[in-house]
Structures are given as structure tokens and as C-alpha cells.
A and B are shown apart, each in its own frame.
Chain A
Amino acid sequence: MADTTSPNRPHQADVEATDTILRLEDIRKTYTNGVAEEVLFGIDLEVNTGDFAVLIGKSGSGKTTLLNIIGLLDTPTSGRLFLDGRETSTLDEDERARLRREYIGFIFQSHLLLPDFNVLENVLMPCRIRGKAYEEAAHDRAVEMLQMVDLGEKIQAPVTKLSGGQQQRVATVRAFANAPTVVLADEPTGSLDSKTSQAVMRLMRDINQETGTAFLMVTHDPELTDYADRVIELRDGRVASDTT
């Protein structure tokens, strides 16, 4: 609708590798349903093109909250969030929705596919949300990516007929379908066995290296941090360490 970029926007790999696409300045979050609970105590963070970062921390340390704020699904109580140089705190719900579909890909803990649609349709759904032209432009690449993850035979299959691992691979491909600038994943392998987790991780890593899409992933699994080239640790609502 109001998208300014063309459907054929080049992948971020073409852009200079040290571009900052996300910048958080003193982000705080206090939940105020009933008792006020302060969850994030001033987060400063930058995410650059090509990053493959992992966010770790104890349960309840605010990882999901932070990811939701970065993904423009939630708003911070205070602080500023720049997405591609644009300050987002003053935007309304629909403006944030339009930024989400343009810049951000999501991989959720459980796959969260749309059961009424087949594999290819699910993958193309973020593009369909943006408009017909985007869906058509993304079609061939979507099929190609599905073939890369061994789902080439299943593109017309109903997603409800797939195994858990296959579904999570579809969800992963979906997150990249619209060539987002940054992909956010909240425990994407949480519901998968170790072997499938490794496969999904490799897929993400491949896409990251091929396209330069930045990657920010929450995980508990220390094995998976091996894939990352940056580890951010959250403790009590603050960034405790950020190692490259």
C-alpha cells in the first residue's frame, strides 16, 4: 500500500556491511497491568546488516519483551528505537504494521503457520500482505528456498500435513520471503528435536550468509550459540555482555 520500496528491492548484502539497521537508545519497559513490573532497565543496542546474533538470558530476563519491542509488536515505555534510521516511537499501529512487513521477518517459537493455506501460500503470505506485485516478485525465490530446505515436493501440500520440523522450516523460509532487513526469532528451535534444530539453524545461517539479512535470535540452547557470530546476554533487564 504505502510501501516506498520496489518489490525488487536488492538484498541487504549489496549494501555496505557495517550499516546499522537497528539502534536502541535507553529502551525501558514497565508492564502496568495491576502491579507495575519493570522488565527492561535501559537497553542500548545496535544491530548491523549481516549480523547473526543470539540473545541469551535466564527465563524472565526480558528477552521476549525486547524482541517484541524491536519487532514493533510492542511499544517501549520510554527510549528510542531507530529502524533503518527512522524513529518509531511516534508511529501508530498501522504505520508500525507497514514497517513490519517491509523490514522485519518473524520466526516464532511454535511455527504459527496459517492452517487454511498450503506451504507456498504460507511462505508468500507476508508478500501478499504487502500487495500482489510483491507476491508475484517473490514467487520464484520462495520456491527456490523451499527446494533448498527439501520441501520442493511439498509446495502445494497443506501445512497441516507436515511434520513439526517441516513446519518450522516453512516458517523459517516465510520469514525471509519478503527479503526483510532483519529477522527476529524467539526460540525458533524450542519445540524441535536436536537434529531438526541443527537443520533449521544451518538454514538460517545459510540465508544470513547469502543475503546479509541481519539475524537476532533468542535461545536457551548453548549448542546453538556456536552458530552465532555475536552473543548478547540479557540479565535483569540490562545487557550484561555483548561479545563478537
Chain B
Amino acid sequence: MVDRLSWSVAWRGLVRSKRLTALTLVVLSVSVILVIFLTALIDGLERDLVEETTGAIAHVLIEPREREPIAWWEQAARGARDEGPLYLGERTTLTSKKGAINNWQRWSRLIDAFGPEIRGVSPAAEGQGFTIRGEKREAVRLYGVEPRRYDQLVPIQDNLVEGRFYELGPGEITIGYRLAETMGVGLGDRLKVNTAEGTGRSMRIVGLFDTGFGGVDNATVLMRLGDGQSLLGLGSSVNAIGIEVENVFQANRVAEQLQRQIPYTVTSWIADNERLLRALEGQGRSSDLIIFFTAVAAAFAIASILIVLVTNKLQEIGILKAMGATRHQIRAVFALQGALLSLAGGALGATVGVGVVRLLSTVQGPPTASGRAEPLFSFELGPELVVGTVVGAVLIGLVASLVPARRASHVNPIAVIQNG
């Protein structure tokens, strides 16, 4: 394919045209740096946004089906999530019936065995409520959970500021540190925990956590599953099963598959976050555009430099052809130059690009209220990105060399030899 002649002429040509070679390498590596940097930044942003959105919620949530009789004029509202619609009849008597997944152990086991897509399953007795201390009253979300299972959905144990979570005992709660601040309480203090319906219980704070998710840290009260069940009047039932999936973008598929087997409402976080996902898609498209235009610019840069290389070499091409070099051999010279330039430029750019990203990753932003230090830039830089960019650069180099290589292969030796 590429013989010694093409190799040696291509290589010598590049080595001899040091300025042009250096210029091409700069253009190419800058393009590669740009692509790597921007993609890592945008991917990082996307990862953060998704993490921000999905980090503190169940990716897939199983809730009891709406079973209350509702008025005919409200039929249209059916299927909407049951966040406090106005139902006919006595709400209080319906509540315990409504919010129940009775045989939850069975469903939990089924989901556990579903497959490797499932990372965690956490049954919960949850509901709206208040924490009350003296005059202070804060609206909160109450969760009766099995701590180790819940921890797979929202990382509490690793984010404890003080105290404990895994070993919650009866009558004990672990709450967000911001909630504790607003309530003016600390570890060991007692706090009155009321449900929306008014049942209440005095509980002891044994742990404070700082997950970094605002909504979690300032309005969450975690207790044992049994405590939650009795506080919310669920008996031995739960009213939610939260699921953590391996790949958050697969949540819809998992939800659909589970829905076929489980007689309750299965929803994925994606259904509730269409806008976010559309925004991410738009962001992805704009980063594709940036990469596309960078690639086009780099291709033109290589092509024009190769055309100059060809023009400088017209006489030598003529000599080689007169001595019997075929069009293929001449084309190979310039295709090889394109490939070598783009491979070297790509490798150089990738090295510098990865270095820049690594360096900027170590820059810390201002610490959060709880003293948590977070990096200023958050990049997502995988080997696929680096390898893909270098491969892309080489392909661009090859494509860009097509026209100059063709032009070189069509040189008429008579014309250039007589000019000499």
C-alpha cells in the first residue's frame, strides 16, 4: 500500500519544511485541545446537572395506584400525581387505604432480582409533615426507611456531619444539617415530628447530614421504617418503593419493564424532567456544532498547508514521475503527510488538552457553608473522548489530503522538467 518511496519522500518533505510542519501541528493541536476541553466541560456540566437532579431522588418510583372514588367532574384529573387533589368523601378515612403497597417485601425482592441495571431498592413510608420546637415550625418530608437501603438512593452515611444513620433506633431521627440550623437544634436534642394529618411524636436527633442537595439538607427527616409506618398510619405497608438504576438515562426503559409486572404506578425521573432533558439535548447539539466547525476549520487548514507543500514540490514530483513513480505512489506521499501531520497534531493536542483539563480540575472553588470544598470546573474526560478526538483528527487529515494528493498525482513530468 504505502511503500518505502512514499514513506521516505513524505517524511523528508515534512522534516525539510519545518515551518509549515510546525504551523500545521499548532493548528491541529489547538483544534484538538479546543474539542477536548469544550467536550469535557460540556459533558461535565451535563453530568453535574443530571446528578443534581437525580442524586437525591429515586430514579424510578413505585407508588400505590389511585384507588379513591373521585367525582365524575374530576375524571379529567385522573392519572395526575395525587399531590393533594380535592376528592369527594372523607379524606382522612381514605388515606390509609390510598397510600398502601401491602406486599412490598415481595415487590422489593422482584425488583432486586430484576437485573444489573438496578443498583438499589428502598421501600419507604413517606409523607409530608412538620418539625416543631417551641414556636418554630418547619414543613418537612418524613421518610421511614431501612437506612442501608435508603443510602443507595441518597448517600447519607458518607455525608454525615455528626452522629449516625445506619444504626437508627426506635424514636431516633437523622436530619439535614440545615434543618437543624433553622430549628436551632443539635445532636441529642429532641424534636416534635408531626404528620400533615396531625399525628405527632417527639423524637431524638442522632445524626446530621450534609448531602449538598439543598432540598434534602433543609427539609428531610429520616427515621426507621417502623416509626414511619406507625406515624403515617400505614400499618405494615409502605407507600413508596424507590429504585436507583445504574444508568439514569435508562430509567424510562426500566420503569416500562417493571410496570408490566407490578400492579402499581411506576414512574421514572425522566417523565418529570422533560425540560431538563430537552435542555441537555440542545446543549449536546450545540457542542456537536462546535466540534463540527472546529473539524471543518482544521480540515481546511491542513488542506491549504498540504497544497503549499505540493506546490513547493512540483518539480520533485515531476522527477519522481519521470523516473517511473506511479500516480498511486505520489498520492500516497501526500495522504501520508496528511495522516502523519494529523496524528502528531492530534497526539500533541490530546496530551496538552488532557493536561489542561487535569490542571483545571484541581482548582478548588469557594467552600460551601458546611465547609465542603468543590472543584471550580467539573469536567467529564473519558478515554473515549481522547481516543475519539485523535482518530477524528487523523480522519480529517486524510480527507484534507485528498485534493492536494490528487493534484500531485496529476503533475505532468514534461512540464516541470522543462521549466527546470
- Write the residues of chain A forming the contact surface with B, with a CB cutoff of 8 angstroms: 1, 64, 68, 71, 73-74, 93-94, 97-102, 104, 106, 108-110, 112-117, 121, 125-126, 128-132, 135
Contacts and interface: CB of A to CB of B under 8 A. Distances in A.
A135 B4 contact: yes
Which of A99, A104, A129 is the most central at the interface, judged by chain B CB atoms within 10 Å of its CB? A129
Contacts of A93: 327
Interface string B325-347: 11111000000000000000000
Which of B4, B5, B324, B420 is the most central at the interface, judged by chain A CB atoms within 10 Å of its CB? B324
Interface string B301-345: 000000000000001100111111111110000000000000000
B417 A112 contact: yes
A94 B3 contact: no
A161 to B, nearest CB: 14
Contacts of B319: 112-114
Contact of B320 (A64, A121, A125): A125
B55 interface: no
Contacts of B413: 73
27 contacts: A64-B418, A68-B414, A71-B322, A73-B417, A93-B327, A94-B326, A97-B321, A98-B324, A99-B324, A100-B323, A101-B323, A101-B324, A101-B325, A102-B324, A108-B417, A110-B420, A112-B319, A114-B319, A114-B320, A115-B316, A117-B8, A125-B5, A125-B323, A126-B324, A129-B324, A129-B325, A132-B3
Contacts of B16: 115-116
Interface in B354-404: none
Contacts of B328: 94
Interface in B269-287: none
B163 interface: no
B313 to A, nearest CB: 9
Contacts of A110: 420
Contacts of B417: 73, 108, 112
Contact of B3 (A73, A106, A113, A131): A131
Interface in B1-33: 3-5, 8-9, 12-13, 15-16
A74 B414 CA distance: 8
A106 B12 contact: no
B322 A129 contact: no
Contacts of B8: 117, 121, 128
Contacts of B326: 1, 94, 97-98
Which of B320, B322, B327, B417 is the most central at the interface, judged by chain A CB atoms within 10 Å of its CB? B322
A93 B320 CA distance: 14
